[in-house]
Amino acid sequence: MNYFPDEVIEHVFDFVTSHRDRNSISLVCKSWFKIERYSRQNVFIGNCYATSPERLLRRFPCFKSLTLKGKPHFADFNLVPHGWGGFVQPWIEALARSRVGLEELRLKRMVVTDESLELLSRSFVNFKSLVLVSCEGFSTDGLASIAANCRHLQDLDLQENDIDDHRGQWLSCFPETSTTLVTLNFACLEGETNLVALERLVARSPNLRSLKLNRTVPLEALARLMACAPQIVELGVGSYEDEQDSESCLRLQAAIRKCTSLRSLSGFLEAAPHCLSAFQPVCHNLTSLNLSYAAEINGSHLIRLIEHCKKLQRLWILDSIGDKGLEVVASTCKELQELRVFPTDLHGGGNAAVTEDGLVAISAGCPKLHSILYFCQQMTNEALITVAKNCPNFIRFRLCILEPHKPDHVTSQPLDEGFGAIVQACKNLKRLSVSGLLTDQVFLYIGMFATQLEMLSIAFAGDTDKGMLYVLNGCKKMRKLEIRDSPFGDAALLADVNKYETMRSLWMSSCEVTLGGCKRLAQKAPWLNVEIINENDNNRMEEENGYEGRQKVDKLYLYRTVVGTRVDAPPFVWIL
């Protein structure tokens, strides 16, 4: 390959987009390393503390798009206290100082401030795309800066963030000359928006493909917006009260019929039970449907809509759809690839809306299914074994039985065999979440068969350290391991310290690891940041002599890093 000039090699590299493949390319030889380095457009950093902005800029001077992830996954469930970290400010500051022509920033579980957004909006002339997922720390003032200053903004995509809504006029801050919007998603905002400004913005954005409104945008506004943007491909519906205003309804139906490109429907946060029928004309084209926030719509209405969605590839739904509803999905949606069934009742109050039968029905009816997230009250080994036989193509399999330690409800056995069947049959399984009553046996199966597994979530499972050891020894491709409330301790933690160099991170909370064990680990592995998160009493851990070594650690988060201990840790985080 070195007979070709660099430009040719670079051109070949352009076809390689996956960052993992590009990482591999750069290891081939020095020349390729150099070429790849300068031509890397999209940089992905899975853990913002694994490296630093300076190192990023040294390695990839010419990148245009940056993806950063901050807090560990369990932060989504309130297991990581506020203030832990994941601040984007230093990154934006460093990038702003450099000459990088940043065009896209994608952040997940990071702390973003209005100051950061302001700086971002002023520093990069060609900035085009901002995607924030599960972030917090900013307000609509920050959005106003983005709107006002980013002349070429194409994507403003806010997914499930915690945003302080000042009910200001951020939408009016888009200049009249701004016509480049492609994606506008503000579904997670709580407050009222300026509907006039919104309509005008939509009307002057001919490239708008994705529009996701928040719960305060009423029905008549929706009708007008859709009339302005018939080219829309993804729509997130705002509030949709009862069809008392029949004129609005008729207008909406007329507008919907014109949206021949509509492929994805979501929202319905404030949705009256009967409102879905207006969307029936577009169902036959829909590939993605997210009704997982539509708590008021009962199963029968959902079913009536889904019956028409023959091309559906992605479905997110609440368990109010019931097993019967899932059977309809199974018989209708033959193209289904991803299914998520979320719980309506978060306290496990008794009435199981979906059971193992629904899961089996889906597995039998949808041959292309490869990703599933399923919350339910009960499960059996038999069902899981059947699912494994029906669907050997799972890449992501996440099952959450709402009650911890719940066994097979028919045989009262642990669910080891069921999950064992899944990992044995699904040779491409990359992500797995287990639940229910589980012994060390299930981890033996996982270690033996889940050779491609990259992410494993364990809660309330296992008997002894052997469980964790099976996984650490067996799953060669493991990258993220997160464990809570399981009896794994120091022996498992310390058995193979070098394993953690091959992984992005390990999370263990409410397990059996002790402070002494963590200290030993930190000593053996200086290239790891071993963080102890102890919210309750900062001083106690240090000062009780004698018992210190055996004191249980509440939360442990460790990750490989090339830049050593981070300097922005709050007092309740102790980095060993």
Partner 1 sequence: MSLEEELQSNVSVASSSPTKNTAGGGGLKVHNYFGLSDSSSVESSTLSGRVEDDKATISLKATELTLGLPGSQSTELDLLSPAKLNEKPFFPLLPSKDEICSSSSHKNIVASGNKRGFSDTMYTEKNWMFPESVAAQSVVKKEVPQNIPKGQLSTTNNSSSPPAAKAQIVGWPPVRSYRKNTLATTCKNSDEVDGKPGSAALFVKVSMDGAPYLRKVDLRSYTNYGELSSALEKMFTTFTLGHCGSNGAPGKDMLNETKLKDLLNGKDYVLTYEDKDGDWMLVGDVPWEMFIDVCKKLKIMKGCDAIGLAAAPRAIEKSKMRA
* Nearest CB to partner 1, comparing residues 7 and 403: 403
* Nearest CB to partner 1, comparing residues 349 and 564: 349
Structure tokens at 181: 């919007």
Q: What is the DSSP letter of 485?
A: S
* Structural Rg of the chain based on CA atoms: 25
Min dist. Cβ of residue 552 to partner 1 (A): 6
Most distant pair of Cα atoms in the chain: their distance: 76
Min dist. Cβ of residue 487 to partner 1 (A): 4
* Nearest CB to partner 1, comparing residues 403 and 501: 403
Instruction: Tell me how far apart the alpha carbons of residues 29 and 50 are, in angstroms, rounded to a whole number.
Output: 24
* Nearest CB to partner 1, comparing residues 71 and 224: 71
Q: Cβ–Cβ contacts within 10 Å for residue 531, how many?
A: 26
Instruction: Tell me how far apart the alpha carbons of residues 333 and 323 are, in angstroms, rounded to a whole number.
Output: 15
* Nearest CB to partner 1, comparing residues 50 and 373: 373
Instruction: Tell me how far apart the alpha carbons of residues 253 and 306 are, in angstroms, rounded to a whole number.
Output: 18
292 φ, ψ (degrees, to nearest 5): -80, -5
Min dist. Cβ of residue 418 to partner 1 (A): 15
* Nearest CB to partner 1, comparing residues 90 and 404: 404
Min dist. Cβ of residue 345 to partner 1 (A): 5
- Dihedral angle computed from the Cα positions of residues 38, 40, 43 and 44, in that order, rounded to the nearest 10 degrees: -120
* Nearest CB to partner 1, comparing residues 133 and 448: 133
The residue ranges that bind partner 1 (CB under 8 A) are 74, 76-79, 81-83, 134, 160-162, 188, 269-270, 292-293, 295-296, 342-350, 375, 400, 402-407, 409, 411-414, 433, 437, 439, 457, 459-460, 463-465, 484-487, 489, 491, 510, 512, 536-540, 543, 550, 552, 554, 570-572
Q: Cβ–Cβ contacts within 10 Å for residue 82, how many?
A: 11
Min dist. Cβ of residue 236 to partner 1 (A): 13
- Dihedral angle computed from the Cα positions of residues 41, 44, 48 and 52, in that order, rounded to the nearest 10 degrees: -40
Instruction: Tell me how far apart the alpha carbons of residues 429 and 426 are, in angstroms, rounded to a whole number.
Output: 6
In a 13 Å sphere around the CA of 186, the CA atoms on its Cβ side amount to 23
* Nearest CB to partner 1, comparing residues 82 and 477: 82
Structure tokens at 112: 């973003």
Min dist. Cβ of residue 163 to partner 1 (A): 10
Whether the CA torsion 92, 188, 73, 18 is positive or negative: it is negative
Instruction: Tell me how far apart the alpha carbons of residues 258 and 78 are, in angstroms, rounded to a whole number.
Output: 43
Min dist. Cβ of residue 259 to partner 1 (A): 25
Min dist. Cβ of residue 293 to partner 1 (A): 6
Q: What angle do CA 84, 569, 492 make, to 5 degrees?
A: 75
Structure tokens at 247: 């004129």
Instruction: Tell me how far apart the alpha carbons of residues 70 and 48 are, in angstroms, rounded to a whole number.
Output: 5
Min dist. Cβ of residue 104 to partner 1 (A): 23
438 φ, ψ (degrees, to nearest 5): -140, 140
* Nearest CB to partner 1, comparing residues 5 and 571: 571
* Nearest CB to partner 1, comparing residues 1 and 410: 410
Min dist. Cβ of residue 191 to partner 1 (A): 10
